[in-house]
Amino acid sequence: IIQNSRDQNVTGRIDMVKLYNKIGFLKSINSPPRPLPPPDKNKPAKPDTVKRPPDLKGAKFLLRLLMSVRNVNATYKFTEGTILPGFTQTPRLFGLDDTWGSPGVGFILGEQDANFAQTASRNGWLTKNSRLTAPFTQSQSTDLTLRANVDLSPDFKVQLDASKVSNTSFQEIFRADTTGAFSSLSPSRSGSYKISFMTINTAFANNSSINSDVFKQFEANIQTIKGRFFDITQRTYQDKSQDVLIPAFIAAYSGTSATDVNLSPFPKIPIPNWRFTYEGLNKISGIKDVFQSVTLTHGYRSSYSVVNYSNSLQYGAVNLSNRVEDYNETSFATVPSATTGLLIPVYIINQVMINESFQPLVGLNFRTKSKLSFRFEYKTKRDVSLNVSNAQVTEINGKDWSAEISFTKNNMRMPFKDQGRIITLKNNITFLLNVSMNNNQTIQRTLPDPAQQVEGGSTITNGNINFQFRPNISYVVNQKLTIQMYGDHNTNEPLVTNSFPRTNTRVGFKILFNLAP
Q: Do the domain assignments include residue 153?
A: no
pLDDT at 340: 74
Q: Do the domain assignments include residue 238?
A: yes
Taking the CA of residue 445 as centre, how many other CA atoms within 13 Å lie in the half-sphere pointing to its CB? 23
Taking the CA of residue 404 as centre, how many other CA atoms within 13 Å lie in the half-sphere pointing to its CB? 12
pLDDT tens figures, 330-388:
888 888 877 777 788 989 999 999 999 999 999 999 999 888 999 999 999 999 999 99
Domain co-membership, 177 together with 261: no
Domain co-membership, 182 together with 228: no
Ranges 45-49, 101-105, 116-120, 430-434: which has the least confidence: 45-49
Element (H, E) at 72: strand 69-84
Domain co-membership, 289 together with 347: yes
Taking the CA of residue 379 as centre, how many other CA atoms within 13 Å lie in the half-sphere pointing to its CB? 17
Domain co-membership, 171 together with 244: no
pLDDT at 63: 77
Of 77, 71, 272, nearest in space to 161 by CA: 272
Q: Do the domain assignments include residue 254?
A: yes
Q: Do the domain assignments include residue 317?
A: yes
Measured distance CA(254)–CA(489) in Å, rounded = 39
Q: Do the domain assignments include residue 149?
A: no
Instruction: Tell me the average pLDDT across 209-229.
Output: 91
Measured distance CA(222)–CA(240) in Å, rounded = 8
Domain co-membership, 182 together with 238: no
Domain co-membership, 185 together with 314: no
CA 264 to centroid of chain Cα atoms: 20
Last residue of a domain, one of 432, 463, 494: 463
Instruction: Tell me the average pLDDT across 235-250.
Output: 91
In order of 88, 355, 448, the CA distances from 384 in angstroms are 50, 6, 19
- Quote the number of domains for the chain: 2
pLDDT at 444: 93
Q: What is the CA radius of gyration of the chain?
A: 33
pTM of the model: 0.86
CA 408 to centroid of chain Cα atoms: 37
Q: Do the domain assignments include residue 152?
A: no
Domain co-membership, 321 together with 446: yes
Domain co-membership, 303 together with 279: yes
Q: Do the domain assignments include residue 230?
A: yes
Domain co-membership, 343 together with 302: yes
Burial of 249 (0-12, 13-18, 19+ CB in 10 A): buried
Last residue of a domain, one of 448, 463, 478: 463
pLDDT at 317: 62
Domain co-membership, 118 together with 207: no
State the chain's mean pLDDT as an integer.
88
Residue 174's domain spans which residues?
A: 1-28+54-68+79-139+166-189
Domain co-membership, 204 together with 231: yes
Q: Do the domain assignments include residue 42?
A: no
Domain co-membership, 224 together with 373: yes
Decide if pLDDT at 56 tops 70.
no
Taking the CA of residue 175 as centre, how many other CA atoms within 13 Å lie in the half-sphere pointing to its CB? 16
